[in-house]
Structure 1
Amino acid sequence: MIDRIRLRRPEYTGSNRCRACTVVNAVVLLVVVGLISVRAPLVAAAVGVVGAAAIALRGYLLPFTPYFAPALVAPLPGRFFNHDAPAASDALSDLDDDAADTEAVLRALIEADVVTADGDRVGVTESFKAAWRDRMDPLADAPDDQFAAAARESVPVVASGRVERPGSEAFLVVSGDGRLSRWIRRPVAITEVAAVEALADTDLQAAHLAVAANALCAFLEMCPACGDDVVEGRLDDCCGHSLGDHDPERGLACETCGVAFHRFG
């Protein structure tokens, strides 16, 4: 019996669609339809309809397309076929070996009136959202030395910090008492440092601040670095690298900056 649920694969279509896989499959389908049409036009039409429907609903027609399609189009000029994964980043909480459990921190955020929970719906209170945004904007505009100083002054687990700019990217490089350095991409660093600053006006324990700042990234609506919306989607670099029964990893990312802010567990 056909599994109707698997006929449509939204995780491989829409904004998650890989252009390379789609184009390669479309070209192959056109060639096959053209060859069949020489002897059996009606059969060719049927194959074309079924094949086009499969590409539209599932993302691709040929099995294992993601393993060869990107390589086929890689030599072509331009960025039309680029489908890079959002870049991952370290977090402030990575500095704390004794970081509190995320669920415990979430409960503490609810008690501190930072997060609201209504059944399965969880969100940030409007008052905290405004305070958080008010801290993001100055940090985004701050020179590198002032931004690093703000991180050192406001985040308890940060013993030292500086901004590094390898190539076109920018990182807040921080270390704790253990001297282990973490490289946090600037958009993520702005988000988390601003969250810590806003949380200073609440009753949240200092030991929970770094984990709370990272957890709050799940509620981010706008990238503090470029001002564009952050969107929920796949975090891999092609429509089918997660083949089989495994669902692709999803999270929140800024497509303009190419940075992932949060990964859904």
Structure 2
Amino acid sequence: MQLDVVDDLRQPEYTGENRCEPCTVLNLVIAAVAGSLIARKSRLGGLLAVGISISLIYLRGYLVPGTPTLTKRYLPPEVLRWFGKDPAPDVASGLGGDTTATTDAGRGEPDANPASAGDVTTVDEDEASKPDAEAAVEAPEALDLETLFLDHDVLEPCDDRDDLCLTDAFEADWFDEIDAVEESGLDASAAVDAFGFDADPGEFDLDDRGEARTLRSASGVAGRWPSRAALLADVAASRALESWLPDWDAYDPEMKGAVLNGLRMFLETCPSGGDVRMGEEVVESCCHSHEVVAVTCEETGERLFEQRLADVDA
């Protein structure tokens, strides 16, 4: 019975790795002040109050209801940095995680250019001057995603709107590969193979905490996807692109990640089934939250793509 009560009190979303240190410190201060006030009348009562408060903070992450929400809304970024917290939490944008390819392709908002926003830095000038195709990948300093996709019949002008859509042939290949990945299994080994890491797949783990999927190695996080469906789309697209981009195998993992992240936003059917929609949503970390433009599966709620709204507006 006691264990049931403890389990009921636990709130994993605010404890463990999700614990907000500023919230914890604030609540411990409140507990100490409240305990000292009670101790003026009863020393034992004060000690009990502090003990119960610390237990609640340990189990729930906070003592005063609403503390996490208030902290996310009103705690200054400078205070978050004191505790080593980034006031702008990472967006789960696939391998490498730092591509600014627009999220509006094929959906009419906001008005941005997926090519200019999605340029991917490739090799340096010395490498580009080498005749070795594997080093230069037959590309200039920046890779224009829109041109890349159009030149290799991955995208084409849409029939029903002034935008770009997947070609029927590539979309069919992509979903054939999605079915194949589902059949063989979506694991760390499949992700490592898809992105071309020169490493033993056994050195990587694929975490599935909540909706997000995180690929980790001993050296740190290699990539983070907002959902299993997003990772499934990337792994399958990588396999499909082997037949559509002649130098795909020569792309380094970071470049592959950026290309796949840009391609994923053109999906109009979710890898797990159903249509997709685009809209504004909120991404939260332990101590902060921000709005993102997100492409989401309507039936399952899985997020396929997300980008900070501030980055799009910029």
Give the TM-score, by structure 1 length.
Answer: 0.51
SS at match of 1:193: helix
CA distance in 1, matches of 2:171, 2:198: 24
Greater displacement, 150-159 / 192-201: 150-159
Task: Provide the rounded CA distance (Å) in 1 between the counterparts of 2:152 and 2:257.
Answer: 15
Equivalent of residue 176 in structure 2, options 134, 159, 163: 134
Shift of the 258–120 alpha-carbon distance from structure 1 to 2, 3 Å rule, reads same
Cα separation, 1, equivalents of 2:170 and 2:213: 26
1:228 is aligned to 2:274:
yes
Q: Are 1:94 and 2:134 counterparts?
A: no
1:136–1:194 contact (8 Å) kept in structure 2: yes
Identical-pair percentage:
22
Q: Of 259, 267, 274, which residue of structure 2 is paired with 1:212?
A: 259
Look up the SS of the partner of 1:233 in the other structure.
strand
Q: What is the alpha-carbon root mean square deviation over aligned residues?
A: 3.7
2:91/2:97 contact within 8 Å kept: no
1:182 to 209, 219, 223: 223
Distance 2:177 2:165 in 1: 19
Supply the distance in 1 between the matched residues of 2:181 and 2:216 (Cα, whole angstroms).
16
Q: Which moved more, 1:228-237 or 1:120-129?
A: 228-237
Question: Partners in 2 of 1:170 and 1:262 — Cα distance?
Answer: 11
Aligned to 2:153: 113
Shift of 1:103: 6.3
Extract unaligned runs of 5+ from structure 2: 1-68, 70-89, 100-119, 123-140, 284-288
Whether the 8 Å CA contact 2:211–2:302 is kept in 1: the answer is no
Assess if the C-alpha contact under 8 Å between 2:96 and 2:223 holds in 1.
no
1:191 aligns with 2:237: no
Inter-partner Cα distance in structure 1 for 2:142 and 2:234: 15
Contact 1:89 1:188 in 2 (8 A): no
How far residue 124 of structure 1 moved from its aligned partner, in angstroms, is 1.0
CA contact (8 A) 1:151 1:158 kept: no
Give the AA of the match of 1:230. Answer: V
SS at match of 1:236: strand
CA shift, 1:93, in A, is: 4.0
What does residue 63 of structure 2 align with?
Answer: none
TM-score of the two chains, using structure 2 as the length reference: 0.44
Q: Distance in 2 between matches of 1:258 and 1:234?
A: 13
Distance in 2 between residues matched to 1:158 and 1:187, nearest whole Å = 25
> How far apart in 2 are the matches of 1:234 and 1:95?
20
Q: Deviations over 1:98-122 (max 9, x none)?
A: 7558861221111111111479421
Higher-RCO chain (CA-CA 8 Å, sequence separation at least 6) = 1
Q: How big is the shift at 1:192? A: 0.8
In structure 2, the CA distance between the partners of 1:88 and 1:158, relative to structure 1 (3 Å rule), is farther
Q: Which runs of 5+ in 1 are unaligned?
A: 1-70, 72-86, 243-247
Tell me how many residue pairs correspond in the alignment. Answer: 167
Change (3 A) 1:88 1:222: farther
